[in-house]
Amino acid sequence: MPVPKPSPEDVALSLTLAVVASSPAPLLLLDDQLTIITASTSFCDLFDARPGELAGQPLYALDAGDWDSPALRSLMTATIAGEGSLDACDIYLKPSRRPVRHLVVQARRLDYLDLEQTRLLLAMSDVTDARADAALQENALRESGVLLREVRHRVANSLQIIASVLLQNARTTESDETRGHLRDAHHRVMSVAALERLLSSSQDGAIDIHAYFAKLCEIIRASMIGDQAHVSLTVEGGQGVVEARVAVSLGLIVTELVINALKHAFPDGRPGKITIDYNFHGPNWILCATTASACRWPRRREQAWARASSRPWPGS
């Protein structure tokens, strides 16, 4: 006898069941009563079940009721109603003889020609290992950040000691030229020490540039100006942060500009003012050091100083 040809409905159902069963991701095909029609082989492997045993079971009765969670109920209710407000939910299940698994469950209502029979597709992603790895990585980064800040604190202390030795040698040397070089070296070391000090308290390695410049000027003011009130040193500019590697270069530039201004812009103890100004312009910004004193420089020298002390610098 000839084998009867299957109806298109039977072919479509058979194809659907085959697609679900062969899915590499854990899937459940449900009806509108949330009864399991079929399960993928990957789902059965994950939960040590057989496809024939799952068919016909209520969703919330799986694993002795472990699937009956408020989050999953809310997700399924919204999916049946055709609401897209809930896209996924997290559930924690303990398969037989296995540790607790963290699953992200997604549900979709299938749109097809048979409008009288609602079908739902439930997909699961096991994110247990991924979340555990992310937690380990976060802990490792946090610990490394703590260690790095401790190292920076120790580096700042070491640089402070080196700077103190340089300053002590500058005070005891009889050569004016050597004394000047030692003081310059002291200021440069202190500029890096100030940066390391700020980095030791920074959580992300970013430097508040205003606080950094203010600290640098405080150090230079204490060592080169001291109690002499004839020269003031101020910092102006907006708020902003830069990367540590950029701050190193900027700190050295500011140090050089201020030292040169103190050496040459105020001869014979004449009063004046040094202003460190900076402004951000998108990814770039401008750093400028200006002086005001009773000393009149030739016009060409003033223009040369302005060109040397004001220039754009990339912010990255």
Mean pLDDT for 127-152 is 83
Q: 140 in a domain, yes or no?
A: no
Return the DSSP state at 35. Answer: B
**Domain stops at, among 111, 127, 143:** 127
pLDDT of residue 313: 44
**Torsion sign (Cα): 165, 170, 175, 176:** positive
Q: What kind and span of H or E run contains 278?
A: strand 272-281
Q: 245 in a domain, yes or no?
A: yes
C-alpha distance from residue 172 to each of 27, 166, 167, 178, 183 (Å): 82, 10, 9, 10, 12
Same domain, 178 and 121: no
The whole-chain average pLDDT of the chain stands at 78
Same domain, 299 and 202: yes
Q: 67 in a domain, yes or no?
A: yes
Partner residues linked to 289 by β-bridges: 276
Is the pLDDT at 102 greater than 80? The verdict is yes
Lowest mean pLDDT segment, chosen from 38-47, 85-94, 233-242: 85-94
Same domain, 226 and 291: yes
Same domain, 121 and 191: no
Q: Tell me if residue 232 falls in helix, strand or coil.
A: strand
**Domain stops at, among 73, 98, 127:** 127
Q: 93 in a domain, yes or no?
A: yes
CA distance 72 to 78: 10
CA distance 11 to 19: 12
pLDDT digits (tens, 9 = 90+) for 166-183: 888 888 888 888 988 888
Domain span at residue 105 reads 8-127
Amino acid at 239: Q
DSSP E strands in 147-271: the ranges are: 206-208, 231-237, 241-243
Burial zone of 150 (CB within 10 Å; 0-12 exposed, 13-18 middle, 19+ buried): exposed
pLDDT of residue 311: 44
**Beta-sheet strand order (sheet of 36-39):** 36-39, 27-31, 119-126, 101-109, 88-93
Q: 151 in a domain, yes or no?
A: no
Structural domains of the chain, count? 2
**Torsion sign (Cα): 32, 84, 29, 93:** negative
CA 189 to chain centre: 30
Distant-in-sequence, close-in-space partners of 198: CB < 8 Å, separation ≥ 6? 207, 208, 211, 212, 215, 247
For 227-245, b/e burial (b = at least 16 CB within 10 A) is eeeebebebebeeebbeee
pLDDT of residue 58: 92
pLDDT digits (tens, 9 = 90+) for 261-287: 877 877 777 788 888 888 777 666 677
Q: 26 in a domain, yes or no?
A: yes
Q: Tell me if residue 102 falls in helix, strand or coil.
A: strand
Q: 316 in a domain, yes or no?
A: no
Same domain, 97 and 216: no
Contact criterion met (CB below 8 Å) for 200 and 170: no
Same domain, 116 and 181: no
In this prediction the pTM is 0.47
Q: What kind and span of H or E run contains 133?
A: helix 128-172
More confident residue, 225 or 315: 225
**Domain stops at, among 127, 160, 182:** 127
Tokens 């854990």: give the residue.
26
Amino acid at 57: Q
